Amino acid sequence: MTPVFSDIRSISTVAWRTALEQIRDFRLIAFGIGAAAVMTVGTFLNIADYSKRMDERARIATAARRENTLEAVALVRTPPRFLFMSEGDERSVPNVLVAVPGYLDVPHQSSAATDLVPRGFALDWSFVVAYLCGLAVLLSTYDLTSRQRENGTLRVVLSYPVRRWSILAGEYCGALCAAVPFIVLAIASGLLIVLGSGRIDWTLSDSIRCLAFAGLSLAYLSFIAAFGILISVLFRSRTTSLLVAILGWIVAGVVVPALAQPLAHAIAPAPTQREHALRLEAAQRRYGSGIRVSSLMLQPVERSSGLTEAAKAALLNRIQADLVAQHEQLVNAYKKELQAIRLDYLRKVARESAVATRIAGFSPVVLYTSLAADVAGAGAENQTAFYRAASEFLRPYTEAAIALRQRFRSAAHVTGPWVEDGTYKLQGVAWVSYDDVTFDRRLMPSFPGYHVPALLAVQAAVSGAIAFVALDLILLLLAARRFNRYVFD
Amino acid sequence: MIDGLLAVVRKRLQVELRSVTWFGSVLLLFLVFGAAAVRSIGLFDLDSAAFDTDQVKHQNDADAVFQTYSQLSVAVDRQPAPLRLLIRGGEDAFASCAVTGGRFRPTSFRSRQTAPPSAQGAFSFDPARVIALLGSLTALLVTSGTIAREREEGTLQVVLTYPCRRSVVLLGEHLAALLATILPVIASVAGLIAFAAATGRIHLDGETLGALAGVLAMLVLLLSAAVAAGLFISASTRNAATAITASFVVWVVFAVLSPAAASSLVTLVQPVDVAPSNPASSATLMQYSLGSYELKHRDQERAGREGLQRIRQADLYGAMTTSSPYMLFVSGAEAASGTGIDAYKAFLSRVHDTESQFVRWEDGMLAQYPERATTYNAGDFPIDLGGIPQNQVFVAGGILGGGVAQRLLMMLIWNAALLFAAYQRFARYDARV
């Protein structure tokens, strides 16, 4: 028998024994079934939530379609279909973008109608796997070797003619195999609810997403198993390794994400919504104070007494045209400034959240949940796809809107200050509004919507799986080094 | 008996304060509490500044010269509660001010919008939440190992031979563990409050101290419940590792899972019919005249219904908080500090009163000067502002009543039940190894 073959044999024997022992362990059974139950309830709640969101979206979209004017168009985002798999950034991404000829605006929240109920964790699949299944695997592996050591069986096991590292590898494989049925059970119970609800038309790409999710989850749980084995080898008493396991879970799952936000805010502070609103108001005031129409402007017409009435009218027209041109320039400058303020705000907010994601990514739990959000199509990719589609829509929209504005110029509603002196009248333009212009809405291009390609899900899953397997190898190597030097006192 | 109790407490405290578990948990608590406190102080300052500018703005509006009655409005500003430093509650969700336009314009609510978008996620804990989460975890981990470990090591057999009742031993263990967890917790809270008082952020007057006492009472009862739960688990299991595992699971269920489940359930049971004008962004949409249609028509009514549904949702969530001591603590501390839904409801009823007062005043004035409702001619004298309702500041004080007492009572019931269960298990405990 070649040594490699014997290694494989001993690994598979140990794996088989460990898997049997693990599957009978009440911790794994209780947690596995508990996770499946939470997954079922969570999926049910999320599916109900999804239909509510779709109704809300339909209502906003109808209202927006009815009210699209030559002034602006509201673009409504479609909520990702796989919200039950991962909420991602769903609750912080705006539902509506406003397309104004020339640029996109992101509405900021300012009404008081926010949720009064505190925002908890969403009970989606990624939460259940990251926190509950992760805990199940961690709590069933933290004492794999220390338990045998306390029982005294380790002495016997180590006397067998097999290499120590192959025992460790066998235990790792066994623990992972024991976890697989429970993950399958959890995902299957969730899927049953999804398919049974009939709310989601299942396609091939959805199956791909599900497979990608399962693969990524398995890679994540293998990392947790490797971590459990490492601490079971590192410490001599079960209680110590248990406490270290709990500490690890709390730090990775709660402390790191909680610290990431204030840290990111300190590194790349984004202005608050209020500061943003104040900047906008200040710009508005500056612009308002720039518009001037006074009776002094009428003086050249009155003073030039030698002119005929027709010449006076021509002079007045020229002054009036100059005034309008000046004010339109002012309005354009104001719009540009608004755009700059908004873009600056968005850039800073995006930067802060990117820094926060990067900091939180040090925790494997957060790394997994953010990758799962990408797999579900609810992560940053979804947001980017919406913005990309909106920017692509912007060009034809701008062209159409400007052309239509030229056509309906006479119907536009012009507001502004004016002065009157005798028969002479001057008007400045504070705003040209196309709000009330009626036109055929079919002349305006319609927003085609967008979708996040399933390939991105596979990409995220594969890159995540590679990262987790690499981390596994490092942890297992550390554990093997330690296990090779294990001595009994 | 007292001597016996004191001896148990002293010896137990000595053991616990030297344990690595206690030390590690406390270190973690201080670290996270510090981060939460820094964030909370930043938000506190932003709130105060926002409140000041809002008030100045509303005063300027009131002092301006108006020609018609339809241009008038009265504002009610909600003063941010001083103890939001400790627990923010709904401070970011609640409206910060209401401007009522009487007969001519609907009352508009505005939120303070001070929290940066990043600080509104599920992981943004305020200092009181950090303490409740990590403090109760420490209490559970410290106590769940005690009885089971003594049994494993065999010392329990010796302890139970002493001329001391089992109930006294249990009570001593309870008090010692409670002291061990409450010390770092009180130290961190006191540190934060002392810092805020020293820098002039809060004034320690009777009201603030009363609110603080309410929060601390809830905190002590929460930790005591956690200790009792730990003892119950410890007395129900035969080895320390199982006891610690079980208590950790209990913590996950009550502090992590049940709040998540409650928020999800509430939105399902009591859904909110979002007014079409309010896709969470009505201001910008209105600016572009989008979404204005519904508001122009019957939306006022719908917006009112939406607000009512949101309050009903919050009430339902409040009822659900009794199912978990952690959630009960959060809602009790919010009620005591004036950052909870109770205070907000009081604010809304004040707004309502102001609104009807203003409408009555307007009606009186319009009966006298009917032509000045909306029209103004050059040469008209300024409108008569005699007896107009003034701008108001709503201070969420004096609510240390029903809400807090009720939640304290619920917390006491949790404590009594858990302690009784622990005693029942311990009285029949078989100490043989």
Give A422-473 pLDDT, tens digit per residue.
778 888 887 778 877 888 888 888 888 788 888 888 999 999 999 999 999 9
CA B308 to chain centre: 20
With beta carbons under 8 A apart, name residues in chain A contacting B50.
274
Q: Which of B155-159, B164-168, B218-222, B325-329 has the lowest mean pLDDT?
A: B155-159
DSSP for B48-91, written as a single string: HHHHHHHHHHHHHHHHS--SSGGG--EEEEEEPPGGGGT--TTT
Closest by CA to A164, choosing from A140, A180, A148, is A148
For B340, name the nearest residue in chain A, comparing CA atoms only.
Answer: A116
Range of lowest pLDDT (A94-98, A137-141, A164-168): A94-98
pLDDT band at B286 (very low <50, low <70, confident <90, very high): low
In which band, very low, low, confident or very high, does the pLDDT at B295 lie, cut at 50, 70 and 90? very low
Contacts with B294 from chain A: Cβ below 8 Å? 63
Query: Who contacts A264 (Cβ-Cβ below 8 Å, separation ≥6)?
Result: A352, A353, A355, A356, A359, B118
Half-sphere CA count of A322, side-chain side, radius 13 A: 10
- The answer, yes or no, to whether residue B120 has pLDDT greater than 80, is no
Q: Residue B121: pLDDT band by 50, 70, 90 thresholds?
A: low
**A356 and chain B: CB distance < 8 Å anywhere?**
yes
Of the residues B290, B295, B344, B347, the best mutation for testing chain A's interface (the one with the most A CB atoms within 10 Å of its CB) is B290
Instruction: Examine the pLDDT at A92 and tell me if it is beyond 60.
Output: yes
Q: Is B307 on the interface with A (CB under 8 A)?
A: yes
Residue indicated by tokens 């002495």: A155
Mean pLDDT: which of A4-8, A25-29, B74-78, B140-144 is highest?
B74-78
Q: Which of B264, B287, B326 to mutate to test the interface with A (most CBs of A within 10 A)?
A: B264
Write down the pLDDT at residue B294: 44
pLDDT digits (tens, 9 = 90+) for B224-272: 999 999 999 999 888 888 899 999 999 999 998 898 889 888 888 888 7
Biggest distance spanned by C-alpha atoms of chain A: 122
Question: What residues of A are in contact with residue B263 (Cβ under 8 Å)?
Answer: 117-120
pLDDT at B278 over 60: no
Substitution target in B113, B311, B317, B326 with the highest count of A β-carbons within 10 Å is B113
Q: Please state the rounded mean pLDDT for residues A37-59.
A: 86
Mean pLDDT in residue range A397-411:
88
Please give the pLDDT value at position A384.
Answer: 81
- Closest by CA to A73, choosing from A479, A444, A483, is A444
User: Taking chain A, what is the end-to-end CA distance rounded to the nearest angstrom?
Assistant: 35
Question: Given an 8 Å threshold on Cβ–Cβ distance, is B280 in contact with A116?
Answer: no
Which range (A79-83, A183-187, A299-303, B293-297) has the least confidence?
A: B293-297
Structural contact between residues A482 and A234, judged by C-beta atoms closer than 8 angstroms: yes
Q: Is pLDDT larger for residue A319 or for residue A112?
A: A319
Mutate to test the interface with B, among A115, A150, A276, A353 (most CBs of B within 10 A): A115
CB atoms B118 and A127 under 8 Å: no
Q: Tell me the chain A residues in contact with residue B276 when contact means C-beta distances shorter than 8 Å.
A: 59-60, 63
Q: Name the residue in chain A with its Cα closest to that of B112.
A: A274
Q: How confident is the model at residue A73 (pLDDT cuts 50, 70, 90)?
A: confident
pLDDT given at position B187: 94
Q: Residue B280: what pLDDT?
A: 43
Vertex B68 angle, CA B64 and B69, to 5°: 90
- Quick one: closest CA in B to A354, which residue? B118
Helices B402-427 & B206-236 angle (0-180, nearest 10): 20
pLDDT tens sequence across A342-393: 888 888 888 888 888 889 889 999 999 999 998 988 877 787 888 889 889 9
* pLDDT tens-place string over residues B338-369: 888 888 888 989 999 999 999 999 999 989 88
Q: Do A265 and B116 touch (CB under 8 A)?
A: yes
- Say which residue, A327 or A91, is predicted with more confidence: A327
How far the first Cα of chain B sits from its last, in Å, is: 28
Record: contact A265-B39, CB cut-off 8 A: yes
Best residue in A272, A278, A366 for a mutation probing chain B (most B CBs within 10 Å): A272
Return the top range by mean pLDDT from A414-428, A470-484, B279-293: A470-484
Task: Using pLDDT thresholds of 50, 70 and 90, give the confidence band for residue B284.
Answer: low
Which helix (DSSP H) or strand (DSSP E) does residue A415 occupy?
A: strand A413-415
Cα B283 to Cα B292: distance, rounded to the nearest angstrom: 10
Instruction: Look at residue A114 in the predicted model and tell me its pLDDT.
Output: 66
The residue count for chain B: 433
Task: Kindly give the pairing relationship between strand B95-101 and strand A424-427.
Answer: unpaired
Model pLDDT, residue B118: 62
Going from the C-alpha of B48 to that of each of A272, B84, B85, B347, the distances in angstroms are 14, 11, 11, 18
Name A150's bridge partners.
none
Answer whether A274 sits within 8 Å of B50, measured CB to CB: yes
Is residue A63 within 8 angstroms of chain B, CB to CB?
yes
Dist. CA B181–CA B134, nearest whole Å: 10
Tell me the average pLDDT across A213-242: 92
Question: What pLDDT does residue B239 have?
Answer: 84
**Confidence (pLDDT) at B386:** 83
Q: B-contacting residues of A 266-295, CB under 8 Å?
A: 269-274, 277
* pLDDT of the residue at B297: 43
Q: What is the model's pLDDT at position A304? A: 75
Q: Is the pLDDT of residue B215 over 90?
A: yes
CB pairs under 8 A between A and B: 255
CB-based contact B218:B329 (threshold 8 Å): yes
Residues of chain A neighbouring B133 (CB-CB closer than 8 A): 254
Q: Is A171 on the interface with B (CB under 8 A)?
A: no
What's the confidence (pLDDT) of residue A275? 85
Chain A: nearest CA to B163, how far in angstroms? 31
Of B35, B149, B293, the CB nearest to A259: B35
Nearest by CB to residue B122, choosing from A73, A121, A352, is A121
Give contacts of A 188-227 with B, CB under 8 A: none
B window 175-234, beta carbon within 8 A of A: none
> In this complex, is the C-beta atom of B345 within 8 Å of any C-beta atom belonging to chain A?
no
- The nearest alpha carbon in chain B to A98 belongs to B285
Higher pLDDT among residues A479 and A62, named by residue: A479
pLDDT class of B281 with cuts at 50, 70, 90: very low
Whether the CB of A143 is below 8 Å from some CB of chain B: the reply is yes
Q: What is the pLDDT of residue B296?
A: 44
B244 CB within 8 Å of a chain A CB: yes
Q: Give the mean model confidence (pLDDT) for residues A205-223.
A: 93
Compute the mean pLDDT over every residue in chain B, rounded to the nearest whole number: 85
Touching check for A85 and chain B: CB below 8 Å? no
SS3 A76: strand
- Is any Cβ of chain B less than 8 angstroms from the Cβ of A442? no
* Band (B219; pLDDT cuts 50, 70, 90): very high
Put simply, whether B289 touches A (Cβ < 8 Å) is: yes
Cβ pair A349:B261 closer than 8 A: no
Mean pLDDT of A163-168: 88
For residue B146, the chain A residue with the least C-alpha distance is A239
Q: Which of A27-36, A300-309, B303-312 has the highest mean pLDDT?
A: A27-36
Share of chain A above pLDDT 70, in %: 98
Q: Which chain A residues contact residue B135 at CB under 8 A?
A: none
pLDDT of amino acid A88? 80
This model of the complex carries an ipTM of 0.85
Quote the percentage of chain B above a pLDDT of 70: 89
Question: Which residues of chain B from 109 to 138 reach within 8 Å of chain A, CB to CB?
Answer: 109-125, 130, 133-134, 137
Q: Which of B284, B289, B317 sits opposite A117 (nearest CB)?
A: B317
The residue that leads in pLDDT, B397 or B171, is B171
- Selected residue with higher pLDDT from A60 and A168: A168
Distance from CA of A368 to the nearest CA of B (A): 16
The answer to whether residue B423 scores a pLDDT higher than 90 is: yes
Span B21-50, pLDDT tens digits: 888 889 999 999 998 999 899 889 989 999
Residue A346 to residue B125: CA distance in whole angstroms: 24
- pTM for the model stands at 0.88
Residue B302 above 70 pLDDT?
A: no
CA distance B60 to chain A (A): 16
Strands A418-421 and A96-100: unpaired
| A262 closest CB neighbour out of B38, B259, B307 | B38
Position A489 scores a pLDDT of 59
What does the pLDDT read at residue B300?
A: 59
A109–B113 CB contact, under 8 Å: yes
